[in-house]
Structure 1
Amino acid sequence: MLNNSKITPCLWFDDQAEAAAQFYTSIFRNSKIVHISRYGEAGQEIHGKPAGTVMTVSFELEGQSFTALNGGPTFKFNEAISFQVFCDTQEEVDDYWEKLSADGDETAQQCGWLKDQYGVSWQIIPHILIELLNHPDTATAQNVTTAMLQMKKIEIDELKRVAAR
């Protein structure tokens, strides 16, 4: 199946592409696995994967196309790339935070950032945080920034409390 997106992030996994795609599509409501391709005999001297094992998984999260590749252990994820999930409510923040951070790296949780069990970085961001960080009163924006820097998961009520000072 042809991907019609102009730009599609490709996530390089050792051999967890299918499990990761299933994990992500279980979290986001408007999501699906689109196609799974498998390694064949061709190029086995290069890729070293047994014929029939998963090569790529095409999937969508909230309308955004992704490709997950089982490319071997050569490359690892790092914080230089992350995916932002914008939320309207604390319940939504809490839900994404809990699900994406399950079995992830708890030392990487700060300022709304987390690392999931595959090492992929995510930012769980309530829309109000962006509004308050861009508040026309610079003192309010600075107070919100200070509060945010002390949080792991972003707490909307605390941001509102700090902004109201």
Structure 2
Amino acid sequence: MTSVNTFLWFDSEAERAAEFYAATVPDSRVTGITRNPDGSAFIVTLDLAGQAVTLMNGGPGHPHTDAASIQVIVDGQDEVDRLWAALTSDGKPGPCGWLTDRYGLSWQVVPSELPELMSGPHAAAVGAALNGMSKIELKGLREAHERG
């Protein structure tokens, strides 16, 4: 059997990060923890809304970058707002729905409606509106789509 798993290297906060992600992203849970002899977490496995993720406390030297991110596709502005607030708490917002959480991991919080709004003859107007946003605001994208 072949499987694909996202593997993330943390300095020392893998367990706290996994618990935070499981509490923040619906339908997620920590599925296992392998501990070092001193009781600290070494490997933490997480089911992140149906996606297998492994977090490892490997020590410094391998920081996260925005070149790789976790994309969460959600229904509606309320869920965009909720996840954005949770993930940017002690983190920082970025452009076009990207953000960096308190652990330095990059995320994209994307409404499921975005691909439809970005297709067809109004794509350029929606793209221009999106480029001016940090957190994605559906109202602004819908208005850009209508103006086309």
Same fold (TM over 0.5): yes
Query: Any gaps of 5 or more consecutive residues in structure 2?
Result: none
2:54 aligned counterpart, secondary structure: strand
The answer to whether structure 1 residue 123 and structure 2 residue 108 are counterparts is yes
Query: Any gaps of 5 or more consecutive residues in structure 1?
Result: 41-50
2:6 aligned residue: 9
Q: Of the candidates 118, 123, 132, which is equivalent to residue 141 of structure 1? A: 123
In angstroms, what is the RMSD of aligned CA positions? 1.3
* Aligned mates of 1:53, 1:98 — CA distance in 2: 29
Cα distance per residue 1:17-41 (max 9 Å; x no partner): 100001100102211111110124x
* Aligned mates of 2:72, 2:91 — CA distance in 1: 17
Is the 1:5–1:65 Cα contact (8 Å) retained in structure 2? no
Higher-Rg member (1/2): 1
Identity %: 40
TM-score by length of 2: 0.94
TM-score by length of 1: 0.85
2:30 aligned residue: 33
Q: Which 4+ stretches in 1 moved above 4 angstroms?
A: none
Count of aligned pairs between the two proteins: 147
Kindly provide the amino acid, as one letter, of the partner of residue 117 in structure 1: R
* Aligned mates of 1:28, 1:5 — CA distance in 2: 26
Q: Of the candidates 79, 84, 105, which is equivalent to residue 92 of structure 1? A: 79
